[in-house]
Chains A and B, each alone.
Chain A
């Protein structure tokens, strides 16, 4: 693997499969009574979070602890960034203390690339702006594989705020790389420019898009998008794009429903779907720990080689 995990583009197909395979082993560790192995003992991992995050930060931290890494959480409030030091300076300061890895969550697309150019430590992208969230896509793929055993030919429909979603960008790359048939659906105001060039099908009618779907992946709708006039109201959004039980019926009978969280019940997804039999949303969360352990383990392996 490359020095850093900045983007799904950094990974070959084989590397993706080796992460998923490693995650199988890691998952088993999580099922033991003593959920800890010495793999990363003596390694220092800094979780540098410039955006509030519960799920991702906790997931990384648990993953690091289960691998016996020394972990350090730095949560930087957005307001202090404006008056405080630059990301480059923060990075150089952290780097001076010689961590092995830095897990970065940041509101700016490309922030991890900037860090990667500054730091000798391995950088793991835990979400950069609207760009990518590669470990989310990996855990999504892991969850899909658990249920479907394959990617080739699977119809995966991703619905919601496509334009602003880093989860989307990572998932599209990963799933198309593995041969899935990826469909995107959302209001035309929230479809990224030239999305078709990514090798996906864009279909604004969600009813049409979900027909015979193997996987439906919902993306979070942020309320502030209404101010940007991307759509008129949450109510209308739910009416046109919300994942209801009716809509789920149009998909394959063994469809799985995914959501990266946090969910807006009654906006992008009906509660009955979120809590229903097709939902694998909590499995995604559980798998997140295993997949992140796998990523940490495989990147740390590279550290040894240096």
Chain B
């Protein structure tokens, strides 16, 4: 079946397009993008209002789907429902499940659940080390054959420099990136918040930015040594961004991502409006303003490659505890687009085409997966965004099984109109205009 998306602003940086184009979908693929495509007979025509944006499907390269093992927080089905409601056509899911995704059996299980849910594409990320214990490499070739696109011990860093070296060397054979959760564990200690004025005042144990940047520097040095691919996950500290810039300057194959909460929020939120709100507890922690501003700078100047949410669902009662006992993490899939529009595009930090690079083109490139492009013959993974939609964030209304977001009640400008995966409409937001999808 052919569907013609008529009108709207097509933003497709991979193909140098930004303007009024029509887009023809043929089955699961993009058939044509051109100005004023005449509808042939038998083509379903969908009028896209001129204010809406048609772009290559957004890819969240850092998501915790929690299945198998922690289905009370999220499942592949609820997580992908959350993803498509957030405008994402694909997510890459972290291996710190129970059991850990360190073997083909778990990878296949996740992919089977994803096929059953049949919403967003799911790209499993395998563990670097068996059981994420940091001792022995996981069966990386087997993980790759089963469908893993990258490796990480996320939740913690790859334990030793030696193991990281081996992982980079070995994964290099398959051109797979190693995604690193940068954290020097002894400096982190039992810290629960950014080491700064606010944590000190509230009596919360601190984690300095250097805990992150030291590990990033280690991994960048090892990537240089091995010519491996390292991707720095959820970067939060300005020192880490400097480390990445240093690595890129030396030609090291290093990329990095930033989460919306790290470019929107600061550690000031620990104390206000709700003191000790456990939805302000995540790892890495919310940093201070200088860090947040540097992330914004990096997003604009190109030194940051991707925006990823680090969607980390936790059931309400798990978060309804003392701050230092609460698990780290917040959900992110359904707030990302609105935060990006409101705080980046409308705030004048970066143009929309750059945002699409950060949310689609670059994640696809880093993970070496299809997507990020609306070229003819590309999968018809398409996000339709509503840049001017007035959005009031409602945790209760979210598709994610968990509601742990610090953005509940926020009023933001910009949202999602529809999400199309493989030519099939998997999400439609009627608040953004009744599209005939």
Residues of A within 8 A of B (CB): 86-88, 106, 108-111, 113-114, 117, 128-132, 163, 166, 169, 192-195, 197-198
Instruction: Determine whether the beta carbon of B196 is less than 8 Å from that of A110.
Output: no
- Asked if residues A129 and B203 are in contact (CB atoms below 8 Å), the reply is yes
Contact between chains at B200 and A113 (CB < 8 Å)? no
Q: 10 shortest A-B CB distances, which residue pairs?
A: A110-B276, A131-B203, A130-B203, A108-B322, A109-B203, A192-B200, A194-B197, A193-B200, A110-B323, A113-B275
Question: Is B434 engaged at the interface, CB distance under 8 Å to the other chain?
Answer: no
Interface size for B (C-beta < 8 A) is 21
Nearest-Cβ distance from residue A93 to partner chain B, whole angstroms: 14
A110 touches B202 (CB 8 A): yes
Whether B201 lies near A198 (C-beta < 8 A) is yes
Nearest-Cβ distance from residue B326 to partner chain A, whole angstroms: 10
A84 to B321, alpha carbons, bound, how many Å?
A: 13
Residues from chain A with a CB closer than 8 A to the CB of B323 are 108-110, 114
Given the complex of chains A and B, what is the CA–CA distance between A111 and B324 in angstroms? Answer: 9
Closest Cβ neighbor of A194 among chain B residues: B197
Shortest CB–CB separation between residue A280 and chain B, in angstroms? 26
A214 to chain B, nearest CB (A): 25
Known contacts A86-B321, A108-B322, A131-B203; 17 further A-B pairs (Cβ under 8 A): A109-B276, A109-B323, A110-B202, A110-B203, A110-B204, A110-B276, A111-B322, A113-B275, A114-B276, A114-B322, A117-B274, A130-B204, A130-B205, A193-B199, A193-B200, A194-B197, A198-B201
Interface string of B190-208 (1 = CB under 8 A from A): 0000011101111111100
> Please, which residues of chain A bring their CB within 8 A of the CB of B274?
117
Chain A nearest CB from B268 CB (Å) reads 13
- Using Cβ atoms and an 8 Å threshold, which residues of chain B touch A108? 322-325
Partner of B203, one of A114, A117, A169: A169
Q: List 24 A-B contacts (CB under 8 A).
A: A87-B322, A88-B317, A108-B322, A108-B323, A108-B325, A109-B203, A109-B204, A109-B276, A109-B323, A109-B324, A110-B202, A110-B323, A111-B322, A114-B321, A114-B323, A128-B203, A130-B205, A131-B203, A163-B200, A169-B203, A193-B196, A193-B197, A194-B196, A194-B200
Residue of A nearest to B199 (CB): A193
Given contacts A192-B200, A193-B197, contact A88 B320 (CB under 8 A): yes
- The 8 Å CB contact of A132, one of B203, B205, B206, is B203
Return chain A residues, CB-CB under 8 Å to B205: 130
Chain B residues with Cβ below 8 Å from A194 are 196-197, 200
Whether the Cβ atoms of A87 and B203 lie closer than 8 Å is no
A74 to chain B: closest CB distance in Å? 17
Q: Which residues of B contact A106 (CB under 8 A)?
A: 322
* Proximity bits, B176-193, A CB within 8 Å = 1, else 0: 000000000000000000
Give the residue among A108, A129, A131, A198 with the most B Cβ atoms within 10 A.
A108
Question: Given A110-B275, A113-B275, A114-B276, do A195 and B200 touch, yes or no (CB 8 Å)?
Answer: yes
* A166 pairs with B321, CB closer than 8 A: no
CB-based nearest A residue for B204: A109
Q: How far is the CA of A109 from the CA of B276 in the complex (A)?
A: 8
Cα distance, A194 to B322, chains bound together (Å): 24
Assess whether A169 is in contact with B322, with CB atoms less than 8 Å apart: no
A197–B198 Cα distance when bound, in Å, is 10
Question: Which residues of A have CB within 8 Å of B200?
Answer: 163, 192-195
How many A-B residue contacts, CB cutoff 8 Å? 63
User: How far does the alpha carbon of A163 sit from the alpha carbon of B205 in the complex, in Å?
Assistant: 9
**Chain A contact residues: helix, strand, loop or mixed:** mixed
Q: Min CB distance, A168 to chain B, in Å?
A: 10
* Bound complex: CA A130 to CA B274 (Å): 18
Residue of A nearest to B189 (CB): A228
Within the complex, the shortest CB–CB distance from A109 to chain B, in Å, comes to: 4
Contact indicator B276/A113 (Cβ below 8 Å): yes
Q: Are A131 and B320 CB-contacts (below 8 A) given A193-B195, A194-B197?
A: no
Which residues on the B side are within 8 Å of A166 (C-beta)?
203
Cross-chain contact B275 with A87 (CB below 8 angstroms) = no
CB distance from B107 to the nearest CB of A (A): 34
* A88 and B195 contacting across the interface, CB-CB below 8 Å: no
Is the pair A109, B202 in contact by a Cβ cutoff of 8 Å?
A: yes
A282 to B324, CA, bound (A): 34
A130 to B200, CA, bound (A): 9
B298-333 vs A, Cβ < 8 Å mask (1 yes, 0 no): 000000000000000000010011111100000000
User: Within 8 Å CB of A195, what residues of B?
Assistant: 200
Contacts of B324 in A (CB 8 A): 108-109, 129
Cα separation A132 to B324 with both chains bound (whole Å): 15
Contact of B322 among A110, A197, A198 (CB under 8 A): A110
Chain A contacts of B317 at CB under 8 A? 86, 88
Q: A87: which of B197, B199, B201, B321 is its contact (CB, 8 Å)?
A: B321
Collect the chain B residues with CB atoms within 8 Å of residue A192's CB. 200-201
In the assembled complex, the Cα of A42 lies from the Cα of B412 at a distance in Å of 50
Least CB distance, A141 to chain B, in whole angstroms: 19
B199: chain A residues within 8 A (beta carbon): 193
Closest chain B residue, CB of each to CB of A128:
B203
Cβ-closest chain B residue relative to A117? B274
Name the residue on B nearest A116 (C-beta). Answer: B275
How far, in angstroms, from A153 to B199 measured CA to CA in the complex? 29
**Cβ of B138 to closest chain A Cβ, rounded Å:** 31
In the complex, the chain A residue whose C-beta lies closest to that of B208 is A193
Q: Provide the residues of chain A in CB contact with B196, threshold 8 Å.
A: 193-194
Instruction: Tell me the nearest residue of chain B to A115, going by C-beta.
Output: B322
CA distance A36 to B49 in the complex (A): 77
Q: Does B203 lie within 8 Å of A88, measured CB to CB?
A: no
Contacts of B195 in A (CB 8 A): 193
State A87–B321 Cα separation when bound (angstroms): 7
Do the beta carbons of A86 and B201 come within 8 Å of each other? no
B31 to chain A, nearest CB (A): 55
The minimal Cβ–Cβ distance linking A245 to chain B, given in whole angstroms, is 33
Chain A positions within 8 Å of B206 at CB level: 193
Tell me, rounded to whole Å, the shortest Cβ–Cβ distance linking A142 to chain B.
Answer: 23
Q: Could you say which of A117, A131, A163 contacts B202, with CB atoms under 8 Å apart? A: A131
B122 CB → nearest A CB, Å: 33
B249-301 contacts to A, CB under 8 A, are 274-276
Nearest Cβ distance between residue B116 and chain A, in whole angstroms?
34
CA distance A142 to B197 in the complex (A): 28
Docked-complex contact A86 and B320, CB < 8 angstroms: yes
CB distance from B270 to the nearest CB of A (A): 9
